Chains A and B, each alone.
Chain A
């Protein structure tokens, strides 16, 4: 297991979490969201499964997460027990699938064929590539005391790649580091309407039967 933190705040931003979790696996810090760009990981948590030869056997997908959080009480962060239970169930299904692959390798039904990997892989468009360039420019400007110009770059990036929540939420963090999950985040989520925040996970027992 390798964790990657999409955090432009760098070590300072992630230190409290990593020190608390005391991971025994590599816990990497990706201030530039490079892995997000390379793998089309447009949100957190998302995961990619890579076999011993360096081949992708499951392309980027939400690692069992779901949109249940949208029902959250936005003051207390409380979730109804049935939603909590569903979160637990999904996490269990996903972890069981992961363990199955670890044990059985290519024989696992959860390790996808090369064709299936290719079919399921979301690839970046030109607009996505341009969004990453605007995002990079915004980060640099923000880190050099040019917050207003930076926000214009972030707005452009969000316009180009509206489904890239890593960019959107990092931009909110630059705008207000104390409360990146504040009202602006919720209004962006609400604006999705019937569209998902987390894409469905095409795995038996999750969003596929």
Chain B
């Protein structure tokens, strides 16, 4: 079993295997990482990343229920950072720095959803129409 940490949360994936080409995830398990395979490519919500023509075998192998997808090849294609545990059983796949950067440069406040002490989720966008003073602190 391989644990994958991403913006989609934590997913524990059975049947994944790593080799020199990357981390191969059963295509049927892929949605648990936020991605799915569609005719147009690897998609997450509205975002679709076409598989580069001529490089299909770096990304997809096997047929039908045995189909595997190379998740770290996708990460590399999207310039997503990948951190892997020494044992190779946990992968953290981040968001591309340039994507974060272009959002920030655009000047629009990126949305997020976080819980309060009571466990209630607040979205920044819930406060649209009000000024927001967003301030960080920590107990440490």
Across the interface, do B136 and A132 meet the contact criterion of CB distance under 8 Å?
no
Across the interface, do A130 and B81 meet the contact criterion of CB distance under 8 Å?
yes
A102 to B80, CA, bound (A): 38
Give every chain A residue within 8 A of B115 (Cβ-Cβ).
11, 28-29
Across the interface, do B101 and A166 meet the contact criterion of CB distance under 8 Å?
no
**Which secondary structure dominates chain B's binding surface?**
mixed
Give every chain A residue within 8 A of B116 (Cβ-Cβ).
26-29
A113-155 contact mask (Cβ, 8 Å, vs B): 1 or 0: 0100110010111111110111011001100001001001100
Of B36-44, B54-62, B87-95, the segment with at least 4 beta carbons within 8 Å of chain A is: B87-95
Is A3 interfacial (CB-CB < 8 Å)? yes
Nearest CB of B to A51, in Å:
6
Select which of B3, B94, B127 is within 8 A of A129 by beta carbon.
B94
Across the interface, do A137 and B90 meet the contact criterion of CB distance under 8 Å?
yes
**Given contact pairs A136-B5, A141-B90, A38 touches B110 in the complex (Cβ within 8 A):** yes
Is B8 interfacial (CB-CB < 8 Å)? no
Across the interface, do A55 and B140 meet the contact criterion of CB distance under 8 Å?
no
Across the interface, do B134 and A123 meet the contact criterion of CB distance under 8 Å?
no
How many chain B residues sit at the interface, stated as a range, is 35 or more
Nearest CB of A to B58, in Å:
21
In the complex, chain A residues 139-176 whose Cβ is within 8 Å of any chain B Cβ: 140-141, 146, 149, 152-153, 156, 166, 169-170, 172-173
The total number of A-B Cβ pairs within 8 Å is: 205
Select which of B92, B107, B117, B122 is within 8 A of A11 by beta carbon.
B117
Across the interface, do A2 and B122 meet the contact criterion of CB distance under 8 Å?
yes
Is A54 interfacial (CB-CB < 8 Å)? yes
Across the interface, do B97 and A133 meet the contact criterion of CB distance under 8 Å?
no
Give every chain A residue within 8 A of B134 (Cβ-Cβ).
2, 4, 35, 39, 47-50
Is A56 interfacial (CB-CB < 8 Å)? yes
A53 to B116, CA, bound (A): 24
Is A13 interfacial (CB-CB < 8 Å)? yes
Across the interface, do B97 and A124 meet the contact criterion of CB distance under 8 Å?
yes
Across the interface, do B96 and A34 meet the contact criterion of CB distance under 8 Å?
no
Nearest CB of B to A110, in Å:
12
Is A69 interfacial (CB-CB < 8 Å)? no
19 contacts between A and B (CB under 8 A): A2-B127, A7-B138, A13-B140, A28-B114, A30-B114, A46-B135, A49-B132, A50-B124, A52-B131, A54-B128, A101-B131, A129-B95, A132-B81, A132-B94, A133-B94, A137-B92, A140-B90, A149-B87, A153-B85
- Which 9 A-B pairs give the minimum distances between C-beta atoms? A129-B97, A123-B101, A133-B94, A137-B92, A133-B81, A28-B114, A130-B81, A136-B92, A180-B140
Binding site for B on A (CB under 8 A): 1-7, 9, 11, 13-19, 26-30, 34-41, 43-56, 59, 63, 98, 101-102, 105, 114, 117-118, 121, 123-130, 132-134, 136-137, 140-141, 146, 149, 152-153, 156, 166, 169-170, 172-173, 180-181
